[in-house]
Amino acid sequence: MSEIPKAYEPQSVEERWHQYWSEQNLFQANPSSAKPAYSIVIPPPNVTGVLTLGHVLNNTIQDVLARFSRMKRFEVLWLPGTDHAGIATQSVVEKHLRQQGVMSHRDDLGREKFLEKAWEWKEKHGGIIIQQLKKLGCSCDWTRERFTMDDHYSRCVQKVFVDLYHKGLIYRGKRMVNWCPVSLTALSDEEVIMTEEKGQLWHFRYPCLNDDGTPSSEEHVVVATTRPETMLGDEAVAVNPNDPRYQSLIGRELLLPLQNKRIPVIRDELVDPEFGTGCVKVTPAHDPADYEIGLRHDLPFTVVIAPDGRMNHAAGEDFEGLDRMEARKAVAERMEEEGYLEKVESYTHNVGYSERSHVPIEPYLSEQWFLRYPAVREATEAVADGKIRFFPERWAKSYLHWMENIRDWCISRQLWWGHRIPVWYHRETGEMHCDLEPPKDPENWEQDADVLDTWFSSWLWPFATMGWPEQTETLRKFYPTTDLVTGPDILFFWVARMIMAGYELMGERPFHNVYFTGIIRDKHGRKMSKSLGNSPDPLALIEQYGADALRFGVMRSAPLGQDLLFDEKHVELGRNFCNKLWNACRFRQLQGGETEGEISPSHLTSDDKWILLRLDTAIREITDALEGYRFNEAAQVLYRFLWSEYCDWYIEASKALLQSTVAEVRNNSLAVTDFVLSHALRLLHPFLPFITEELWHGLGYNNGLPSDQGGTTIGFANWPKPLDDDFKQVYGLDESDERFVAAKYDMVTKGRNLRREYKIPSNQRIRYVFKPNAPISEHEKSVLKVLLNAEPLEVSPDMQPPKGTPQVLSQIGELYLPVEGLIDVEAETNRLNRELEKVELEIEKVQTKLNNPNFTQKAPEAVLEEHRQRLHDWQERYNQVKAAVDALKH
RNA sequence: GCGCGGUUAGCUCAGCGGUAGAGCACUACCUUGACACGGUAGGGGUCCCUGGUUCAAGUCCAGGACCGCGCACCA
């Protein structure tokens, strides 16, 4: 810090330190350390993704926890990595290859060639987000970076599949699944987003058939549907068995219009007689509920919609080839033309959308692999009993509800990018081979074409990244992990499944605590999205304001579990705060002198004692907030302490001492400053890793410290402990100092206010006269002089001011602003009378309470005492002001 | 339909049983030797509504209103 710029310039500083940290591998975890373990696994971002504000929030929290724990002398492992994000990555790669003209469909390349290209893509773009996390200051153990498709990790995934298969928990079957007609793959229930949508409800008439098979001209049933195109695959109309209206219909047959097909009327409990007409068209192959009915009644499963969402041959030649949405319109029109349309109503209902492709999900009947969830009981109890704690706690309720209602997980995906299912089918016998090793005679077998859901690999993340299934040193030391930090949007996708995997495969919970962040929205409360273009680029923000500023701004406004409305103003605040810190330290630097000299108790001023006590309070509050995961609170205390206490008051007051020509006085002040700053930097470090590292070294606070306690990096310095009783005794710190200084600063504020009342510019030095209640030292006088910008400051215990002299009253005495020529008795009387009114109001408020016998009898003594004190203070104040008013009258 | 949040200063949000807070914005003054990414002093609030518990209620309880989010196979 030889040349100190007036404004903090984060770019070069941050670049320098993140290189320093990674070159020295400072954050490499040592499994054989004797220190207690603290561990987090990163929620692996998509390998081809880029940093978003959500990542910034999430990873800053993890970094704060990791750095805080390191300073508390834990052996910290923060394990980073990325996941392969099956669908997302595959579609990105496909799009890229199409744009490059390499292929128009992946079948053009074939599986092997395509995967080669995908790996090339991953190698090229896969490191970006990791680089970005480094820029953010994340103190991960980068030597342990993992990827869900690493060889070792892939083997874990396959091993788990094989084991669960042989345990009977994984099975294959033809089921109705959520099908994405764009990605052409099955999805799990969790990947379907239900969206409320305004649609229409078409009411169709299906004519009854006479005994001779001809359609009746009078009798028909009316069915309602939001999806007319599915009627082409109808196989029945169902009514509730107890519905008196339709008893006579049961067993009869209907004509399915357009298809000219006979379909039966059947009875099924599922039908709600209260809804619509009480008659339901049944399309067993294209609706999950109808599928169940189809099974119960042994109906045919007529498929009319192909996997790509277009109508197939069975839909009839008029509709074949139409997209389902076009077919919807066409069918409805045709029905109307042919007189089968009863009416159309507008109708609001929920439509399931593909999370990835943003198109409506198509229920689709196909062969898929399913997992019956393991260790459900243990996983449920762990959260119910508090063995795993959620912050905020309320998410436990969602979790438990989900756990109690889970259905088997569809784990197969019709993709190429991912972990291929380790199952082979014999070409002739059809025999199935499920094993880590392929069959000995591969020419006779064909491997299952599907890959596994990405979450089927990431649910192993907490232990597969640590060397499982081997019982590695790392696993022994760091599993279960301590904290998991993630968004509630992946509670079911990831958190719940990790807990099950932990119990099933490790016999132990994967983490002790789960912290759920809020969701970052824009300043209008909308979710960040690419299409809205309301998602700022964190890298641009880092470039403009610095990573520390971004971290602090986000953390300061991110309360536990509440969504955060992002505004660039927050980052600006962070930048301003860093600049303030920079200049506070710059001021110290400009003073020169020995670094961290000995503090001499006998030279401590009241301001010194005050700031030490405020520091003590800050240490307690910040430590407590961090231990309770209340990061915004910790950030706010840091802000208050540094800005409103240290800079606003202590630095200003210390200027009186620093002017001193007595070396001991000056040096002692510097020693206190160093003590406070070296603590403050450490308290700030988890939030602001870069600037604190820079200042720690720049001010020389690392000098003489052992390498693992702050010599090399502030990241290893000891976390500040509250000042203990011995310390307070030796340095003579007690509450009376705090009270005296608070009263002093209060008087200064009032004194400055007088300037304003009398329109004296704040930079104009002016005469004040102070009439103290008790004798004050020369030092206190000089502090008051500096704080008031007084010249001169006269201390006069016997002051008898001329009538009308502006004055303020305080607990330590009276302060006068004897302005020649400006004395205005009437103005001063008015001013004091306004004050008097305010005081009277307060007295009345307190007195009312104290006069209430219920209050005096039932309130605790401490509260009573506090009220009495308050009343006393106000009354004293009243007397002072009253006396001043009276003095004006004579 | 069930569940979960939110409603406090113009804006964004803390506070969750004992004198209403912060940042931004606003007003006035100030380029005074750390900092204009700044300083000083101000203005600004029936803490959504209605009941209840309590000596005491933004703060706890019940009901309601309005926003938002989950979960749920009503065609």
User: What is the model's pLDDT at position A762?
Assistant: 84
Distance between CA atoms of residues A517 and A65, nearest Å: 14
Residues A224 and A336 in one domain: yes
Task: Judge whether A71 and A682 are in contact, CB under 8 Å.
Answer: yes
Q: Is A803's CB less than 7 Å from nucleic acid strand B?
A: no
Indicate if the pLDDT at residue A355 is higher than 70.
Answer: yes
Sign, Cα dihedral of A777, A778, A783, A786 = positive
- Considering the domain architecture, whether residues A50 and A143 belong to the same structural domain is answered as yes
Looking at per-residue pLDDT, the higher value among A140 and A662 belongs to: A140
Distance CA A773, CA A755 (A): 22
**A266, A346 in Cβ contact below 8 A?**
no
- pLDDT over 80 at A4, yes or no: no
Average confidence (pLDDT) over A464-468: 95
Strand B contacted by A773 CB (< 7 A): no
- Of A27-36, A341-350, A760-769, A827-836, the least confident: A827-836
CATH code: domain of residue A250: 3.90.740.10
Chain A 14-43 contacts with nucleic strand B (CB below 7 A)? none
- The backbone region for A4, taken as left when phi is positive above 0, alpha when psi lies in -120 to 50, beta otherwise, is beta
Residue A534 lies in a domain: no
Which of these ranges, A203-212, A591-600, A697-706, has the smallest mean pLDDT? Answer: A591-600
A660-672 as b/e, with b when 16 or more CB fall inside 10 Å? eeeeebbbbbbbb
Give residue-wise pLDDT tens across range A124-155.
888 899 999 999 999 999 999 999 999 999 99
Among A380, A388, A399, which residue's Cα sits nearest to residue A481? A388
Kind of pairing between the strands at A81-82 and A146-147: parallel
The rounded percent of chain A whose pLDDT value lies above 70 is 98
Please tell me whether residues A351 and A404 are part of one structural domain. no
Q: Which of residues 231-260 of A touch strand B (CB under 7 A)?
A: none
- The domain that holds A68 is classified in CATH as 3.40.50.620
Distance A226 CA to B74 C1' (A): 12
Tell me the CA–C1' distance in angstroms for A640 and B16.
21
pLDDT per residue as tens digits for the range A494-521: 999 999 999 999 999 999 999 998 888 7
Judging by DSSP bridges, how do beta strands A146-147 and A170-180 pair with one another? unpaired
- The model's pLDDT over A564-592, given as tens digits with 9 standing for 90+, comes to 888 888 899 999 999 999 999 999 999 88
Around Cβ A247, how many Cβ atoms within 10 Å?
12
Interface predicted TM-score of the whole assembly (ipTM), two decimals:
0.94
Query: Which domain-ending residue is among A502, A517, A532?
Result: A517
Distance A773 CA to B25 C1' (A): 41
Has residue A232 been placed in a domain?
yes
Domain C-terminal end among A683, A701, A733: A733
Structure-token match 């789960």, residue found: A514
Domain boundary among A685, A712, A733: A733
Does the residue A617 lie in any domain?
yes
A533 pLDDT more than 80? no
Q: Are A226 and A347 in contact (CB under 8 A)?
A: yes
A window 402-421: Cβ near strand B (< 7 A): 402, 405
- Which residues are within 8 A (CB) of A181 and not within 5 positions of it... i.e. 6 or more apart? A307, A308, A309, A324, A359, A362
The arithmetic mean of pLDDT across residues A372-384, rounded, is 93
Judgement on whether residues A507 and A550 belong to the same structural domain of the protein:
no
Per CA to C1' distance, which residue is closest to B5?
Answer: A562
Based on the fold, state whether residues A352 and A485 are members of the same structural domain.
Answer: no
Which residue, A276, A516, A571, A260, is CA-closest to A388?
A516
A536-552 residue pLDDT tens: 889 999 999 999 999 99
Question: Is strand B within 7 Å of residue A274 (CB)?
Answer: yes
Q: What is the pLDDT of residue A562?
A: 79
Position A70 scores a pLDDT of 97
What pLDDT is recorded for position A3? 59
Task: Provide mean pLDDT across the span A607-631.
Answer: 93
Partners of A265 in the beta sheet? A237
| Amino acid A834: pLDDT | 81
* Cβ of A569 near strand B (distance < 7 A): yes
Residue A436 lies in a domain: yes
CB proximity A278–strand B (7 Å threshold): yes
Domain that holds residue A212: 192-356
A802: in domain: no
Do residues A216 and A209 make contact, with C-beta atoms less than 8 angstroms apart?
A: yes
Per-residue confidence (pLDDT) for residue A531, from 0 to 100: 63
A652 touches strand B (CB under 7 A): yes
Share of chain A above pLDDT 90, in %: 62
Same domain, A573 and A711: yes
Shared domain for A447 and A563, answered yes or no, is no
Name the phi and psi angles at A797, rounded to 5: -65, -20
- What pLDDT is attached to residue A212? 85
DSSP bridge partners of A194: A352
A562 touches strand B (CB under 7 A): yes
Give me the phi and psi of A518, to 5 degrees please: -80, 175
Q: Is residue A443 a contact partner of residue A424, using CB atoms and an 8 Å limit?
A: no
CA of A43 to C1' of B49 (A): 43
Which residue from A261, A272, A263, A206 is spatially nearest to A236, judged by alpha carbons?
A: A263
Structure tokens at A726: 């011995």
Residue A670 in this model has a pLDDT that exceeds 80 = yes
pLDDT, average across residues A185-196? 89
Q: Which of residues 482-501 of A touch strand B (CB under 7 A)?
A: 492
- In this predicted structure, what is the pLDDT of residue A890? 65
* A 852-881 residues, CB < 7 A, strand B: 852, 854-855, 858-860, 863, 866, 870
Which residues 43-82 on A are within 7 A of strand B at the CB atom?
Answer: none
More confident: A173 or A566: A173
Tell if A578 CB is < 7 Å from nucleic strand B: yes
A708 and A598 belong to one structural domain:
yes
If pLDDT is split at 50, 70 and 90, which confidence band does A530 have? Answer: low
Phi, psi of A180 (to 5 degrees): -100, 110
Secondary structure (DSSP) of A417-475 = SSPBP-EEEETTT--EEESSSPPS-GGGEEE---EE-THHHHTTHHHHTTTTTS--HHH
Whether the CB of A739 is less than 7 Å away from nucleic strand B comes out as: no
Protein-covered nucleotides of chain B (CB closer than 7 Å) are: 3-6, 11-15, 18-19, 22-24, 28-32, 34-42, 54-56, 68, 70-75
Average pLDDT over residues A41-49: 92
Residue A572: CATH number of its domain: 1.10.730.10
Do A383 and A344 share a structural domain?
Answer: no
pLDDT band at A532 (very low <50, low <70, confident <90, very high): low
The integer distance in angstroms from the CA atom of A527 to the C1' atom of B11 is 19
> Could you tell me if A581 and A497 lie in one domain?
no
Residue A267: helix, strand or coil by DSSP?
strand
The pLDDT score that the predictor gives to residue A821 is 67
Residue A754 lies in a domain: no
**Do A608 and A497 share a domain, yes or no?**
no
- pLDDT of A348 strictly over 90: no
User: How many whole angstroms separate alpha carbon A783 and alpha carbon A864?
Assistant: 36
Structurally, chain A folds into a number of domains equal to 3
User: Is the shortest CB-to-strand distance from A351 to strand B under 7 Å?
Assistant: no
Q: State residue A529's pLDDT score.
A: 67
Distance in Å, residue A826 CA to nucleotide B27 C1': 25
Instruction: Answer yes or no: do A444 and A569 share one domain.
Output: no
Q: Give a yes or no: residue A533 inside a domain.
A: no
> What would the pLDDT profile of A776-813 be if each residue is shown by its tens digit?
999 999 999 999 999 889 998 988 888 778 888 888 99
Does the residue A724 lie in any domain? yes
Mean pLDDT of chain A: 90
Q: Which amino acid is at A25?
A: N
Q: Say whether pLDDT at A822 is over 70.
A: no
How far in angstroms lies nucleotide B42's C1' from the CA of residue A547? Answer: 35
* A719, amino acid identity: W
